[in-house]
């Protein structure tokens, strides 16, 4: 399978292994056929997006269909990752959904100010969490038209 045929990619930026495993399970089961790439900190997320470091020369260097970005991350926090995405011409249009446990107003405002396309608070109960994730996947993979269209 080539990258071109696997057009849909979700970049999941998440440092909590439990949340990662649960999110992966939900996203893989919801049947949109997207590849889920996991980055466990901000630096890794940027390496994937810019095809650098361990992702150097990844084929096509296409943007993920959607990036799910946690705010509390080691090394580079989510807002800084978002700022760098928006500061670079290659990634400025990439759809980014902030997915965080923070319900603080300043996090919400700052996320939108930095150019987030959406802000979703991780629900505490697992059922709600899984519902939210399925909704995000449904919307960004099926309903929304990506800025770069089909590769």
Partner 1 sequence: MSPRPMILIVDDKAQNLFALEKTLRETNAEIVTATSGNDALIATLSHDFALAILDVQMPGMDGYELAAHLRGEPKTRHVPIIFLTAYSDEQQMFKGYGIGAMDYLVKPYDPIVLLSKVLAFLELDRQRAEIHEQRAQLEEVVAHRTAELESVNAKLLVEIGERRRAEEEIRELNEGLERLVARRTAQLEVANQELEAFAYSVSHDLRAPLRAIEGFSQALLEDYEALLDQTGQDYLRRVSGEARRMAELIRDLLVLSRVTRAQMHQEEVDLTMLCREVVTMLQQSEPGREVQITIDDGMLAQGDPQLLRQVLENLIGNAWKFTSHTPEARIAVQSERRDAGPTYVVRDNGAGFDMQYRTKLFQPFQRLHAMSEFAGTGIGLSTVHRIITRHGGRVWAESVVGEGATFYFTLGDEQAADRERR
Q: Which residues bind partner 1 (CB under 8 A)?
A: 16, 18-19, 21-22, 25, 101-104, 122, 124-127, 129-130
By residue count, the chain amounts to: 151
Return left, alpha or beta for 134; rule: phi > 0 is left, psi -120 to 50 is alpha, else beta: alpha
Q: Which of 15/64 has CB closer to partner 1?
A: 15
In the structure encoding, which two tokens stand for residue 102, read together?
Answer: 């923070």
By C-alpha distance, which of 99, 80, 98 is closest to 42?
Answer: 80
Burial (CB count <10 Å: 0-12, 13-18, 19+), residue 55: middle
Assess contact for 105 and 96: CB atoms under 8 A.
no
Least distance between partner 1 and beta carbon 126 (Å): 4
Q: Which is nearer to partner 1, 125 or 143 (CB)?
A: 125
- Rounded to a whole number of angstroms, the minimum distance from the CB of residue 103 to partner 1 is 8
Distances in Å between the Cα of 149 and the Cα atoms of 16, 49, 63, 113, 134 are: 32, 17, 11, 25, 22
Residue 18: CB minimum distance to partner 1, A: 4
Quick one: 18 or 59, whose CB is closer to partner 1?
18
What is the closest distance, in whole angstroms, from the C-beta atom of residue 69 to partner 1 in the complex? Answer: 17
Measured from the CB atom, the residue of 23 and 85 that comes closer to partner 1 is 23
Q: Which is nearer to partner 1, 3 or 102 (CB)?
A: 102
d(CA 89, CA 52): 15
Q: How far is the CB of 27 from partner 1 (least distance, A)?
A: 13
């Amino acid at each position: 399978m080539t990258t071109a045929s696997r057009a849909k990619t979700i970049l999941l930026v998440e440092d909590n292994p439990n949340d990662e495993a649960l999110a992966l399970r939900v996203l893989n089961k919801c049947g949109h056929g997207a590849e889920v790439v996991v980055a466990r900190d901000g630096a890794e997320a940027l390496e994937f997006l810019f095809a650098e470091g361990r992702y150097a020369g990844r084929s096509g260097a296409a943007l993920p269909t959607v990036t799910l970005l946690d705010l509390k991350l080691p090394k580079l926090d989510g807002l800084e990752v978002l700022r760098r995405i928006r500061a670079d011409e290659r990634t400025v249009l990439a759809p980014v959904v902030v997915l965080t446990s923070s319900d603080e107003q300043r996090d919400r405002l700052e996320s939108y100010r930095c150019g987030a396309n959406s802000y979703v608070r991780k629900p505490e109960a697992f059922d709600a969490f899984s519902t939210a994730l399925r909704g995000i996947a449904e919307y960004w993979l099926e309903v929304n038209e990506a800025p770069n269209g089909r590769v």
